[in-house]
């Protein structure tokens, strides 16, 4: 994924290789440089192995792969002792659990990469029916190109956990799911069980990311949505976050951060985004504020949401018109460009860092400014107005 510079600040990230094999690259720190041209940043071309510690499947390692192109420049060992201006995004020694990573092209993956580039250790929770494909793709190196970090190494996922966030504990799981062949071979995948497994394996985490949603009737208008479909959307897309935070809070170190992903349909009409999904996103944002109060008072944990613009992810294709939404955004947003998943990932890294230590209960828009628009300026009604455009 190509890194995108969204302001005068350029993110320079160097990521430690967390491979269990010797020859580890010494860690650098992500830096926000006000003038990146003042320092020469040599490229690093190191690759590292991925180690899956999944107790339900055999461990695997990817082969070492060399890449000739490094998208973002990074600090090297020789530069570590040089004075550098700017503010650090340094998450070394922090551990993140990202719920909802099942491929390499969604926002969850991009967030994992940005957190890893800043030095965090990465754990992920993957929907059980997608677990085998996800792990197989990792093992066979299919994600190696998208695992590439700014320092030239590959993002390491320390452990992959099977997760179905619709179920709080085993008592909630209906018999037809327990016997479903897509769940065969996996165990301890309810929210409570995953939290207990993470505690047993690692003791604590510092960052919790909710990057999952599902609306079985998303293509139906709200007036045609069934009660079952509506409640299913809220269960999978909003209450799942309440459940995750409830069960993971006891594991989170004070000063930690929790982040969820929302969408502008929570407060604006988006025809075609149906099935109760707009209601689920509205609930998620309301819950973010309440959870920020409760988690902040009880555990000193910050809780925020990122309202992201449209992305050509596999999950987004379920609504059926994602390409149209992207073109609409490019035509009408203040910044006329396609949103990069990396831009959402970098915002998450900021929110998880000490730089955002006073930000909680907030919805941060990362959508090229589309949320600020009151009209679609590409309408023929405004054809005679001299509206600024990057085509001029």
Q: How far apart are CA 15 and CA 149, in angstroms?
A: 7
Strands (E), 136-223: 157-163, 205-210
Give every strand in the sheet of 252-262, ordered side by side: 157-163, 121-127, 95-99, 205-210, 252-262, 302-308, 363-366
Q: How many residues does the chain have?
A: 392
Reported as type and span, the H/E element at residue 254 is strand 252-262
Q: Report, as residue numbers or ranges, the catalytic residues.
A: 238, 281
Q: How far apart are CA 173 and CA 179, in angstroms?
A: 10
| Crossing angle of helices 227-234 and 277-299, rounded to 10° | 30
Q: How far apart are CA 224 and CA 103, in angstroms?
A: 31
Q: Is 248 exposed, middle or buried (0-12, 13-18, 19+ CB in 10 A)?
A: buried
SS3 146: coil
Q: How far apart are CA 184 and CA 334, in angstroms?
A: 48
End-to-end Cα, the chain, rounded Å: 28
**Considering just the CA atoms, what is the radius of gyration of the chain in Å?**
21
Q: How far apart are CA 258 and CA 351, in angstroms?
A: 9
């Amino acid at each position: 994924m190509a890194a995108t510079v969204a302001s005068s600040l350029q993110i320079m990230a160097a990521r430690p290789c967390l491979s269990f094999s010797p020859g580890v690259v010494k860690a650098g720190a992500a830096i926000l440089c006000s003038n990146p041209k003042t320092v020469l940043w040599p490229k690093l071309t190191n690759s590292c192995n991925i180690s899956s510690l999944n107790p339900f499947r055999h461990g695997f390692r990817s082969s070492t792969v060399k890449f000739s192109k490094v998208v973002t420049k990074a600090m090297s060992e020789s530069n570590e002792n040089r004075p550098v201006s700017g503010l650090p995004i340094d998450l070394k020694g922090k551990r993140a659990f990202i719920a909802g990573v099942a491929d390499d092209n969604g926002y969850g993956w991009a967030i994992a990469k940005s957190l890893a580039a800043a030095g965090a250790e990465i754990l992920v929770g993957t929907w059980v029916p997608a677990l085998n494909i996800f792990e197989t793709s990792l093992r066979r190196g299919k994600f190696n190109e998208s695992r590439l970090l700014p320092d030239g190494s590959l993002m390491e996922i320390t452990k992959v956990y099977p997760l179905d966030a619709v179920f709080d504990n085993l008592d909630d799981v209906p018999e037809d799911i327990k016997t479903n062949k897509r769940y065969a071979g996996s165990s301890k995948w309810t929210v409570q069980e995953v939290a207990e497994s993470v505690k047993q394996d690692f003791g604590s985490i510092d960052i919790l990311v909710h990057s999952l949603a599902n609306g079985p009737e998303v293509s139906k208008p709200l007036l045609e949505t069934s009660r079952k479909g509506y409640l299913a959307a809220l269960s999978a897309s909003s209450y799942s976050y309440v459940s995750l935070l409830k069960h993971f809070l006891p594991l989170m170190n004070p000063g930690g951060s929790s982040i969820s992903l929302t969408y502008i349909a929570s407060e604006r009409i988006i025809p075609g985004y149906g099935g109760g999904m707009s209601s689920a996103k509205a609930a998620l944002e309301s819950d973010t504020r309440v959870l920020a109060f409760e988690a902040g008072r009880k555990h000193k944990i910050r809780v925020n949401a990122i309202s992201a613009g449209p992305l050509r992810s596999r999950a987004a294709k379920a609504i059926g018109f994602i390409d149209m939404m992207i073109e609409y955004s490019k035509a009408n947003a203040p910044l006329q460009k396609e949103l990069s998943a990396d831009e959402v990932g970098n915002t998450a890294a900021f929110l998880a860092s000490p730089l955002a230590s006073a930000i909680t209960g907030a919805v941060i828009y990362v959508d090229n400014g589309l949320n600020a628009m009151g009209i679609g300026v590409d309408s023929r009604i405004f054809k005679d107005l001299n509206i600024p455009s990057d085509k001029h």
